[in-house]
Each structure stands twice: as structure tokens, then as C-alpha cells.
Chain A
């Protein structure tokens, strides 16, 4: 018999791993004390964490909440936090200069915001999408006030437009483009000539209105949320279109998209905000009242749409060409294959980048303090300008930071949940 021949006689059954390699002990050994160098790093890290907590906990835990001024805090105990500034000014931090008797309006808007996001974030379990559709109009009306028919007419007009489109499609022509043009003409006629009369008429028969609040009164966290959420919601579809446009075979569309993306990305956001606040007025006809918050929202949206486009382009580039070919070979049209095959995958790949852009945008809303809008950071300066609280830093910024952290951490957690949920291999 030759030396290399071998036949296994008995199968070896699996046996449990050694105790020192599994469970808590195994984890500690593997992750914290795997070598003398790692053990040293672990000990040093523990020491630093200890020092930070040793100083921070007594400072925060023993903080004053009910003093009248910073002076009073310092007299009581200068070594602990003076959170009284938050007790005294929390309403301002949340609502800015919004009229106090109308605080319920931003509050209700915020509660509705959460409600309207639930069906979008968890579409499998909650199905009231209709609320997410009416929410934007509802929020605008609640925050800015005035007659409900100001935003209501937009919804009425768009519904009638969709109705016209379906009617044309069913009765006149099977062609979607022609019916679309028909519906568009209807919309133009409606909003140019009919809507004013209809609004006046509705105001007479059903006058529902709230006291108007002007944009400059918006502030605090309400303003951050208005700018941030609108920016996020609006920049997402624009980003998708820009990314598709950048990959387009049509040279003019491609050129416009590339030009837009490169220009907006190449300019600091502050510059864009200054353009929005100061320069835009020079270009508009005198006397035009172009709302400052709207101008800021447009700039912030453009800014993050440009980033979004690049993030999504990365996702598109990550897809094999075969996916396009397979969906084309099944007879799907360009838009069908984008919507059903390409985008679901490209967006899934880009989730970390997209959420990164969202979080960046949300925090960048604090830059509006530069053009003297009163977001929380802008308000912090205002509060410190007040004699009673002059000289306070940590407590205010810790609180503002914490509020932003809650939202950004929430977005980050949701994105991780989404990534887990959409994982389809294995």
C-alpha cells in the first residue's frame, strides 16, 4: 500500500468551543485584553472616561434649575451647572419669537409631523399615507396662519388637475404625454384665472382662518425643523433627478445637471445663504415680497440636493450593467425600470451616504443665524446678550447640542434599521 493513500474511518462530530473563547469572558479577552498593547490601551481609555465622568456628573447633577440670573447661580455654588437659563428661556429656544398665545400651533404641527412620518418610515405597518399627503399644506397653514383656503386651493387645484388627467386619458387619448399637457393647461388656467375667485368665494361661505404669523417671528427649534425637514424632503427627489440627469445620454440635460451640481457643491453654504438674504432682492422687481424663510429653504435644498445627487450617483455606479439590460429585455420602459429595478437598489446602496447628507443638512440649518434668523444658535447669542444671563456658555450649548443630537441620532438609528430590513442576501 502506498504512503499517500488514506481513507477516513469515522466522522468527527462537532464539539463545543473552549469556555475561554465564548460568552462574556471570551468577549472581554478577545476585545479588550487580546495583547499586552491592547490591555494597556484599554486601561488608559478607562482612566480617561473616568476623569471625564468624575468632573461632568457632579457638575450636571448638582446644577441649579430655579435661580433668577447667572449671578445668583454663581453666588450659590460656582462649580455646578446653571440650568436656570433653560428654565427661564426654553420657550424661546423652542419657538423663537412666535407669539406666546399661539405656541400650540407649532406644537400641534410637530405632533402631526411625527404622525405624518410614521406611514412613510414604516409603510408595512401603517397605511394612512393620505395624512402624509395633506400634512405639508396643513403645516404651512398652522405655522403661518391666515385663511385655510390659501393652501387649500393648491390641493383643490392639484386634485382637479389629476382628475382632468385621468379623464383625458380615459375619454380622449391613450397617450400619457398628450393628457399630461392637457392637465397642465388646465392647471395654468385654474391658477391664473379661477383660483382667486374660488378662494374669495370659499372665504365667504366657510371662513376658517388663524391669526397670521410672519416669517421673521419663526425661530428656535421650530425654525430648524421647518428648514431642515423641508430641505430633506425636497432635496431627495431633486437629488435623484440630478443623479439620473448626470448619467443621461442627452447632452444638454447632462450639461445642465453637471453644471448645477458642480456649481452648488463648489460654493460654501454661507455664500448661498447671503445670496438668499441680501443679493436676491436686487434681482427681483422692487416691492416683491419673497419670504426669507422660503428663500433659505430653497438654498439649503439646492445645496443638499447637489450632494445627494453625487451620493446617489455612487449607488447607481455600484449596480452591474446587467440590471439595466435585464429590465430592458423584459420590456420595461426607462422610467419603469428606474423606479422598479434601478432606484430601489441604488438607493439601498446609498442609504449611509443619504442619511449622512440629511444629518449634515439638518445641522447646517444653524448657519442661518449668520443672516440673523433666530435658530437655536442665533438665539443663544441673543440670550447671552441679556444682562441676567451674560457670560453663560456651556449650559446653553449643551442643551442645544443635545436637541440636535436626539434628531440626528434618531435618523442614524432609522437608517441602520432600514439597512437591516432591506438586506436580502442570506
Chain B
């Protein structure tokens, strides 16, 4: 399947330069340099503990970096709370464990942030929410609670919830890792559809099929560093670094 690259623009969406992060004395992220263009789809992979989740959590400051700069959509992440809230409302994030709000219905999960952060009138917020729930193909679950849905459905609601904020960038943090095998496809299909619509996406994932199909660029991380990055075709067929080769042989070998 040939994917479209017409979406990528030369506008910078995320700019990360010389970024370093420590947990106490542990150096988790080392000299990260990364530039993401608007419309680009990036897959980040690597062994566990390599810092890939930490990297994307730094982008909306769920984690704080100690050195270097992160500029998202032209706004630099500093300790200024105003900036952080602004960036968070522009950057959607989907988590491994869904993190839906269990006390709210699916629809209320989707309208909460638009109503309180964007100050959208309730009626409009509901219309947007229904539109997004249709996009992820579960409008009929709108009035159920998350506890009544399957894992795959919950994850699709989580995607819809992020989309309701009309984000310019989406971050996916191992969104299929906690799902039963038969539910992975429905979530990946949603993500593929989103990618085809031209969303700027950074996905931490082990789904190499997904990476081949939609990614414009695959980044391989190990020990908190970016070890290799390339177009998926070359990345999978002609990996350069030994660590990448080892990693690929481990996950594709069986």
C-alpha cells in the first residue's frame, strides 16, 4: 500500500533541542534533538525503559525536562502554568490504560474539556462529541459509562475525547499494549484513519505493521537516546545501528 505524504508541510509543529531529563540521578533522556513537521506521522519504538514514553510525556509536560528546549506550536514549555495549560489544550494524548473518567458517561467524558477549557456551550460540545464518537464508530455507546465498555471501545472513546479538543497534535502512548489481541485492530484502524486525515501524530508503539503502513518516520530509542531514525521502508529493511538490528530481530523474529 502506498501512503500519501502530501500532508507534510514545512511548518514546524514540535521543536526539541538538546533536551535532557533526569529522575533524581538517573539520566533518562540524553540530548534529544527532534523536529516534527505539521502533518507528519512519527512512530517511536525501542526496548522498555528506553525513555520513549517519557519523551512524549515531556511534550505536554506531564514530565518536566531539566535542560534544553521544547517548543510546541511556537510556544516554549517553561514553568509558566499559562503556557502549559495552553499547550495541553492543543496537544491531545491517549494513554495505555485509557484513563477515561469512570464517573462520567462516554458523552460527558468527551464534552468535559471543551465545556470547561474551551468554554464551548454545552449543546455545541455535545454535537462535536457525537461527531467524534461517530468518527471512532461508537456513537451508540454515548450514554454508557466507561465501565460498561470493552477495552477497545474504551480506547476509542479516549481517542474521541482527545479529538473533541480539536488538537493540532496527537500523542499516543502505547495505546494498544493493554488490549486483548482481538481489540487491537479496531483501535489501530481508528489511528490509521486519523493519520489519513492529516493529523500530526507521535505514536509510541510496538505495532510494526502500523508503523510500516502509516509512519512517515520511525525513531528508534535506546538508553534515553535517539539511536536511529529513518523512513519506515529503510528502517525495517536496512537498519544501520547494531542496537536497532538487535531490537528488530527480537520483535520481528518470532
B75-93 interface mask toward A, CB cutoff 8 Å, 1 = contact, 0 = none? Answer: 0000001000110111111
Nearest A residue to B161 via CB reads A330
Question: Is B103 part of the binding interface, using a Cβ–Cβ cutoff of 8 Å?
Answer: yes
Which residues on B sit within 8 Å (CB–CB) of A331? Answer: 85-86, 88-90, 113, 117, 165
CA distance A326 to B113 in the complex (A): 11
- Inside 8 A of B93's CB, which chain A residues have their CB? 326, 329
The answer to whether B117 touches A330 (Cβ under 8 A) is yes
CB of B26 within 8 A of chain A?
no
How far is the CB of A257 from the nearest CB of chain B, in Å? 22
A9 interfacial contact with B, CB 8 Å: no
Point out the residues of chain A lying under 8 angstroms from B117, CB to CB.
330-332, 336
The answer to whether A344 touches B103 (Cβ under 8 A) is yes
Partner of B97, one of A322, A345, A425: A322
Known: A331-B113, A340-B112. A424 touches B88 (CB 8 A): no
Write out the residue numbers on chain B whose beta carbons fall within 8 Å of the beta carbon of A426. Answer: 147-148
Q: How far is the CB of B165 from chain A (nearest CB, A)?
A: 6
Known: A322-B95, A340-B116, A424-B145. A333 touches B103 (CB 8 A): no
* Contacts known (A331-B117, A332-B116); A323 close to B145, Cβ less than 8 A: no
Task: Render A355-375 as a binary contact track against B, CB cut-off 8 A, 1 for contact.
Answer: 000000000000000000000
- Taking CB atoms and an 8 Å cut-off, the chain A residues in 309-337 that contact chain B are 320, 322-323, 325-333, 336
Given the known interface contacts A424-B145, A425-B147, A426-B148, the answer about A330 and B113 at a Cβ–Cβ threshold of 8 Å is yes
Q: Are A424 and B147 interface neighbours, CB within 8 A?
A: yes
Task: Return chain A residues, CB-CB under 8 Å to B89.
Answer: 330-331
With both chains docked as a complex, state the minimum distance between the C-beta of A350 and any C-beta of chain B, in angstroms. Answer: 13
- Does chain A have a CB within 8 A of B101? yes
CA distance A325 to B93 in the complex (A): 10
- Contact string, B96-138, partner A, CB cutoff 8 A, digits 1/0? 0111111100000000110011000000000000000000000
Interface centre among B93, B99, B158 (most CB of A within 10 A): B99
The answer, yes or no, to whether B62 is at the interface (CB within 8 Å) is yes
B244 in contact (CB, < 8 A): no
- The contact of A329 among B60, B100, B101, by CB within 8 Å, is B60
Which residues of chain A are within 8 angstroms of B161 by Cβ–Cβ distance? Answer: 330
Q: With an 8 A cutoff between CB atoms, is A295 at the interface?
A: no
Tell me the minimal C-beta distance from A345 to chain B in angstroms.
Answer: 5
CA distance in complex: A426, B93 (Å): 27
Residues of B within 8 A of A336 (CB): 116-117
Q: Which residues of B contact A329 (CB under 8 A)?
A: 60, 62, 88, 91-93, 162
Q: Nearest Cβ distance between residue B79 and chain A, in whole angstroms?
A: 13
A422 touches B95 (CB 8 A): no
Assess whether A345 is in contact with B60, with CB atoms less than 8 Å apart.
no
Count chain B CB atoms within 10 A of each CB in A325, A330, A332 and give the residue with the most: A330
Contact of B101 among A333, A341, A422, A425 (CB under 8 A): A341
A interface residue count range (under 10 / 10 to 19 / 20 to 34 / 35 or more): 20 to 34
Q: How far is the CB of A250 from chain B (nearest CB, A)?
A: 14
Give complex CA distance A222, B90 in Å: 56
Residues of B contacting A345 in the complex (Cβ-Cβ under 8 angstroms): 101-103
- CB under 8 Å from chain A, chain B span 136-161: 145-148, 158, 161
**Contacting residues, chain B, for A348 (C-beta < 8 A):** 103
Of A322, A332, A422, the contact of B99 (CB 8 Å cutoff): A322
Q: Across the two chains, which residue of chain A brings its CB closest to B113?
A: A330
Chain A residue contacts of B62, Cβ below 8 A:
325, 328-329
**In the complex, which residues of chain A have a beta carbon less than 8 angstroms from the beta carbon of B85?**
331, 333
CA distance A331 to B93 in the complex (A): 11
Contacts A331-B89, A332-B116 given: A326-B100 contact, CB under 8 Å? yes
Q: Whole-angstrom distance between the alpha carbons of A331 and B162 in the complex?
A: 10
Asked whether A328 lies within 8 Å of B88 as measured between CB atoms, the reply is: yes
Cα A372 to Cα B162 in complex, Å, equals 61
Q: How far is the CA of A425 from the CA of B103 in the complex (A)?
A: 9
**Could you tell me if A325 and B99 are in contact, using CB atoms closer than 8 angstroms?**
yes
Query: How distant is A322 from chain B, measured CB to nearest CB, in Å?
Result: 4
Whether A326 and B95, one on each chain, are in contact in the complex, defined by CB atoms closer than 8 angstroms, is yes
From A319, which residue of chain B is reached at the shortest CB distance? B102
Cβ A330 vs Cβ B112 within 8 A: yes
How far in angstroms is the closest Cβ of chain A from B204? 14
Cβ–Cβ < 8 Å partners of A327 in chain B: 101
A426 to chain B, nearest CB (A): 6
B88 and chain A: residue at smallest CB distance: A331
Contact A330 B148 (CB under 8 A): no
**How far in angstroms is the closest Cβ of chain A from B112?**
6
A320 to B95, CA, bound (A): 13
Distance of A364 Cα from B216 Cα, bound (Å): 68
| Complex CA–CA separation, A341 to B85 (angstroms) | 16
**B112 near A425: Cβ-Cβ < 8 Å:** no
For residue B158, which residue of chain A has the nearest CB? A326
Q: Nearest Cβ in chain B — how far from A358, in angstroms?
A: 22
Q: Are B116 and A424 in contact (CB under 8 A)?
A: no
Contact pattern, B 197-236, Cβ under 8 Å of A = 1, otherwise 0: 0000000000000000000000000000000000000000
Chain A residues in the interface with B (C-beta under 8 A): 320, 322-323, 325-333, 336, 340-341, 344-345, 348, 422, 424-426
**Which 4 pairs across A and B sit closest by C-beta, in order of nearness?**
A425-B147, A331-B89, A326-B99, A322-B99
Provide 24 A-B residue pairs closer than 8 Å at the C-beta atoms, listed in order of the A residue: A322-B99, A323-B99, A326-B95, A327-B101, A328-B62, A329-B60, A329-B62, A329-B93, A330-B88, A330-B89, A330-B165, A331-B85, A331-B88, A331-B113, A331-B117, A332-B112, A332-B113, A332-B117, A333-B85, A336-B116, A336-B117, A340-B116, A348-B103, A425-B145
A329-B88, A329-B91, A424-B102 given; 17 more Cβ-contact pairs under 8 Å: A320-B97, A322-B97, A325-B95, A326-B99, A327-B101, A329-B162, A330-B113, A330-B117, A330-B165, A331-B89, A332-B116, A340-B112, A424-B146, A424-B147, A425-B147, A426-B147, A426-B148
